[in-house]
Structure 1
């Protein structure tokens, strides 16, 4: 039996969704974030990085959502349901699997951090300075970078319904967390294709079953 160590409101939502799309049986061990929105230390017993998701299967312990999704596709998707077969689309598929965490999520994490500098747990006496610093970095760098990425993503969905073609793939599963975060935190208007992609995700029965299994999905720190 596959076991998912699932942290609420986290990237492990991707793994639950993938398992539901593949109709695989699994069990969940649930973890709750603490008051600082960090993962609990009990996750260290499963993996030394104390991060989620972690997947256990046949004696293997796998971390990193992208690596887990590739493992699930390679192991449990022999018909290629969740991976395109055409060469050009395969290249796009690989790109999005890496882009999600390599290029987009670092900017979104920075956005979250700098937007939080004027709030607890930053010491009260530093919050005014922190707020000014955070707003300065966002205005001078982050907002422009996120705008560039948002327009790139919007144009990437011009030809196809999904990120790697006309059929859902693990690329979409991997992109779900950063796209949801971008739409929640980015403050960028006029992204109809991305919004439509998000609606298509949320309408999928497998996504809805994953929500039922793992609990409500909201992006931490959204404004």
Structure 2
């Protein structure tokens, strides 16, 4: 059985969402954050970098959200969380799945971290975030999620950062992204995952 090591308010909730969608059993190991909002030492006993998520499947121990999401869909022969392989939409899906952590995350963290600390946010950080939000808005269809009405892996991957941006007010001037985030929260897998593991973002 898959074991998911899940830090509170973390990216690991993405994997729980997918497993709930797949209807597959899993063991959940939860970790609370320290008073400094960091991962506890116990996570370093699971992964040398103290990362979350980490999944275990027999002798395999795997980190990084996109890698874990892809592994789980492969393990359970799931073809419902991405467009058909070989299509242009599939290639675009794979690009967006990797884009979230390779490009979008840095733009988000450059505003989220100072916001959480009550510090001033650099103007160039705000501009960069706006550029990325505009890009995502242009990528989205007029209605629905990235590739239809059902959440794809790319949508699930996007959710964690959008949750934190919404909690800190950074989606107020991005109506298409705000609607997208609201639609993601209506997905059955999201509802089930946050019921099991708690919200993706803390109340600020």
TM-score using structure 2 length: 0.90
Partner of residue 64, structure 2:
64
RMSD across aligned C-alpha pairs, in angstroms?
Answer: 2.0
Partner of 2:42: 42
Match of residue 178 from structure 1: 161
SS at match of 1:162: coil
Question: Alpha-carbon deviation of 1:10?
Answer: 0.5
The answer to whether the 8 A contact 1:3-1:29 is kept is: yes
Distance apart, 1:76 and its partner CA: 1.0
Q: Greater share of helix residues, 1 or 2?
A: 1
Mapped to 2, the partners of 1:3 and 1:165 lie a distance apart of: 29
Q: Is the 8 A contact 1:84 1:164 kept in 2?
A: yes
The answer for the alignment partner of 2:125 in structure 1 is 142
2:172–2:178 contact (8 Å) kept in structure 1: no
Q: How does 1:181-220 map to 2 (within 5 A)?
A: 181-185=164-168, 187-215=170-198, 217-220=199-202
Deviation at 1:182, TM superposition (A): 2.9
The Cα of 1:158 is off from its aligned counterpart by: 2.6
- Determine helix, strand or coil for the equivalent of 2:96: helix
Report the CA distance shift for 1:210/1:189 in structure 2 as closer, same or farther (over 3 A): closer
Q: How many residues align?
A: 203
CA distance in 2, matches of 1:156, 1:37: 33
Measured in 2, the distance between the counterparts of 1:106 and 1:190 equals 20
CA distance in 2, matches of 1:108, 1:186: 12
1:137-177 CA distance string (max 9 Å, x none):
x22x1111111111111121135622234542111111111
C-alpha deviation, 1:219, in angstroms: 2.1
